Structure 1
Amino acid sequence: MQRRYKWFVVLFFFAFLTVHEADRFIISAVAPQVKEEFNVTYGQLGLVFSLTVLVAAVLYPVWGYLYDRYSRKILAGLAALIWGFTTIFNALSRTFSQFFATRLATGIDDAAPPGIYSLVADYFEPYDRGKAMGLLNATGPLGAIIGSILALSLVGAGMSWRSAFFITGPIGVVIGILTILLVKDVPRGSSEPELEGLLVEDIYKARLSDLSKLLRIRSLLLLYLQGFWGVFPWNAITFWIITYMEVERGFTPDFVMVVMVLWLVAMTAGNIVAGYLGDRLFRVTKRGRALLGAVVVLFSAILIYLTMNATATEEFLIFGLLTAFEIPMAGPNVVAMITDVTEPELRASATGYLRFFENIGSAVSPALTGFMAEGLSLGAAITIVSASTWLLCFVFFTLLAIVIPKDIDRLRRIIRERADQLKR
């Protein structure tokens, strides 16, 4: 695979996921306008958001299996087309019932990442995948910046909340078409060193009976456990940090926006750095990515405590920036570790299961934090939820560092056996 083309594919999917994440974040920024137009309560609007997440969670394993069975570029392109058209339909809604139905439909396409990560993994050898995954993971915070700025700018200019969706929706349609036209499918497993030059067609495809294998891989079970608990801090912070800064810190909305942009830029950088660092550690030891994950979540617990308990504004900003840079650094290596222990034809399914568990955790965390805040304070609730679950994830990553070498060796043995069969 030509080096220039494989990085083109990564950058193309980087743009794909960035715009998609921007589209997902727009709804948070325009929620007040939506609430006012349809004259609904926070509870009704919150139900829409929660059910949309639930739709995505339920469909993650389904999309994962389809990606492992059929053309990943066609399915990724289809996901983008669904994203584009459902976003346009959502913007065209004239009643709350129409908004409710079309918003739920936007959850159908949220499962593009498992297929994209699986396809990209087949462009890069094991020791180089972290860099690509880091770049793709950086689309989350970057998309949040773009989506929030776009929505707030349009609303601030007196335009309807629909305007933002009329921009991102058609872009999604164009991206879907370009995905099908520009991205090349490659055989599953073609980037594995043992199979280099041996795979001329895509012969390894998932079967439904193969999916149970994923639950017998100890490393994956630990990754799923940390995935469920690891999103608790993210959602506690995402849903409540702006309210915390405005209410308990007394920051103005304009100052909060500046802080959030700085933090999101730091998160973007943290993802990219983590990919390179994970690859380097993986070359040193098979436990490298897991050990990095353990260190990251341990320091995440410490840094969030220091940030939330900072007395001076300057101290809060400095610790907050360090926290924002450090907390996303486990993410790219989690995705890379899935490829390190899973057969190529099951990687999208394995990632789909991870996203399923993450979405379930995402649904629990905001409510838990909110209820705790009623008896404590919002800052204390964010700190307790974040620090305690990151410490729990430290245990999972530590156990992962112990067991993952055997699972890596198992996969390498399977790949060597396949190479021997192809050589005959």
Structure 2
Amino acid sequence: MDQSGITPNTSNQQLVINSDNDSATALLQEKQARRRDNLRDVSLVEYMTVGILCFVNLINYMDRFTLAGVLSDVQDEFGIDNAMGGLLQTVFVVAYMVFAPLFGYLGDRYSRRIIMSYGVALWSLTTFLGSFIDNFVVFTIFRGLVGIGEASYSTIAPTIISDLFVGNVRSKMLAFFYFAIPVGSGLGYIVGSVAGAAAGNWRWGLRITPFLGAVAVALIMWVMEDPKRGQAEDSQMKPSTYKDDIRSIIRNPSFMLSTLAFTCVAFVAGALAWWGPQFIYLGLKMQEDVNITQERVSQIFGVITMAAGLLGVPMGAWLGAALVKRFPRAHPVLCGAGLLLSAPAMTLGLVLVEGYAYAPFVLMFIAEVALNLNWAIVADMSLYVVIPPRRSTAEAFQILISHMLGDAGSPYLVGVISESLKRSLSPEEQPSPQVEFSSLQYALFVTCFVEVIGGIFFLLTAIYIVRDKLKVDRAIAEAEAQSTEPSHSTADEEVTGGE
């Protein structure tokens, strides 16, 4: 089998296919271009499908960051330090990433509607039951079960959008889908803090999203469309073996470099989302003229996160769509520029928390807007450099790598560094508020360096992106040519879906 995934019987047959390759690719691109910018051709069912996926993504991230809004209350009740507080999120993400490859394999071969329904039902039920658990170890296990359920959804949902749309329409729909991440995260802080404060118990924040999850299961089962894989691109490709899928993905430089870059994004987002509210609260609490509660800080941080997402995600999608027409490498360059802009803003925000009340929030907003530029673009790149029948596997692979090396460890790592610095700065006594703040501040500076590394990886992706996208277009065109011209294939000749 060659790189294109076609196993010819004779060299003459391969020559015929290769001679038709460029013309077939041009016809495919022309066909896709006719649908590229036309939202009027999107049906009501397709709009409803994207809306349902966005709704589930929203409550997915609400649930994920509800605990972050009340983290100090959780630590007080269970009697845990920063390291164990970070471990709560790490266990969730580890379970999420470990099960992602399984759901990626299933998502390329079986009903995505059923897989997602069971997954959303699982994380909704375990979130609700977990809110009644008083033992920290058991509570942590239930957070891991929530991660398994969320892996089934996050791995598959973007591939449904990729099978419904192409070109700029796909980019716009992915932007709508991914703007739910920062908005849902922000709502998580707000719901957790508001519900906990109103009920006098942080656990009530965990009892809201499960009911929304039940609604989501019904919508997925009876309203959402589950298109044929490759439908938007008229792909005739068949799934290949899992071994071939992984081997092709690993050999795809655009996908691998963008995955490493996105790993840096996940590292930063995970650490900042988990520790940001508590860090800002510690800094503001030391200022004599500032009187604020952690609940209030969580609410403000949540609003900033939502606003940054509402501005940054659509802006990234719009800039990407506008620039890629003139500069084909615009997507990775724009993502890299966003991270390199976010890093200094984040650094200043961390430095000024101790002495200023408003400047840190403004700088965090700027940093998050720049960080959010890449969400929809990275998803689009990851899809268009991978052929249709292995996109769920590719999404799962990216989730595994980005979370394993990114936000699976970053909350825990920041917590461990913070606790180590506390012992160094205050070895024989109870840490003072200044030591508590400084140790967490120094630990969070790690995120600024990681952003710069991520920006470099995105810029390296720009070297290969045009070539790898063209390979996918050619592979789709070859498969379509073989399916429509029997003379170019024999009964035992098979398109297996390589790149």
Normalised to the residue count of structure 1, the TM-score between the two structures is 0.89
The structure where helix makes up a greater share of residues is 1
Pairwise CA distance, 1:98: 4.2
In the comparison of the two structures, how many residue pairs are matched? 416
Matches within 5 A, 1:2-401: 2-32=42-72, 34=74, 46-93=86-133, 95-96=135-136, 98-111=138-151, 112-158=153-199, 160-192=201-233, 195=234, 204-209=238-243, 210-250=245-285, 252-253=292-293, 256-257=297-298, 259-269=300-310, 270-310=312-352, 312-360=356-404, 361-370=406-415, 374=421, 377-383=439-445, 385-401=446-462
2:435 maps to none
Q: Which residue of 1 aligns with 2:36?
A: none
SS of aligned partner of 2:374: helix
Give the match for residue 33 of structure 2. none
Q: Which moved more, 1:183-192 or 1:145-154?
A: 145-154
CA-to-aligned-CA distance 1:47-77 (integer Å, 9 cap, x gap): 4432222111111111111111112222112
Residue 30 of structure 2 is matched in structure 1 by: none
SS in structure 2 at match of 1:402: coil
Name the SS for the 1:93 alignment partner.
coil
Of 456, 474, 482, the residue aligned with 1:421 is 482
SS at match of 2:229: coil
Aligned-partner Cα distance in 2 for 1:309–1:37:
30
**2: CA distance, partners of 1:315 / 1:47:** 30
SS in 2 for 1:342: coil
Comparing 132-141 and 40-49, the one that deviates more:
40-49
Change over 3 Å in CA distance of 1:257–1:161 after alignment to 2: closer
User: Contact 2:85 / 2:412 at 8 angstroms: preserved in 1?
Assistant: no
Q: Is the 8 A contact 2:83 2:412 kept in 1?
A: no
- The structural deviation recorded for 1:40 is 6.0
In the superposition, relative to structure 1, how do residues 57 and 282 fare at CA in structure 2: closer, same or farther (>3 Å)? same
Of 251-260 and 56-65, the range deviating more from structure 2: 251-260
Larger of the two Rg values belongs to structure: 2
Deviations 1:313-363 (A, max 9, x none): 444343332222221111211110011100111111111111112222213
1:45 to 1:332, Cα distance in 2 relative to 1, 3 A? same
Cα distance, 1:320–1:170 mapped onto 2, change above 3 Å: closer
SS of 2:131's equivalent? Answer: helix
Aligned-residue RMSD, C-alpha: 2.6
- Provide closer, same or farther for how the CA distance between residues 47 and 295 of structure 1 changes in structure 2, counting only shifts above 3 A: closer
What is the DSSP-based 3-state SS (H/G/I as helix, E as strand, rest coil) of the residue aligned with 2:373?
helix
> What CA distance in whole angstroms lies between the structure 2 residues aligned with 1:120 and 1:191?
9
Taking structure 1 as reference, are residues 45 and 223 closer, same or farther at Cα in structure 2, changes over 3 Å only? same
**Do the aligned residues in 2 keep the contact of 1:297 with 1:391 (CA within 8 Å)?**
yes
- Match for 1:386: what amino acid? T
Q: CA deviation at 1:255?
A: 5.3
How many Å apart are 1:216 and its aligned residue? 0.9
CA contact (8 A) 2:263 2:401 kept: yes
Identity percentage of aligned residues: 24
Q: In structure 1, give the amino acid aligned to 2:281.
A: E
Q: Give the TM-score, by structure 2 length.
A: 0.76
Larger CA deviation: 366-375 vs 259-268: 366-375
CA contact (8 A) 2:304 2:361 kept: no
Question: What secondary structure sits across from 2:274 in the alignment?
Answer: helix
Q: Distance in 2 between matches of 1:100 and 1:316?
A: 32
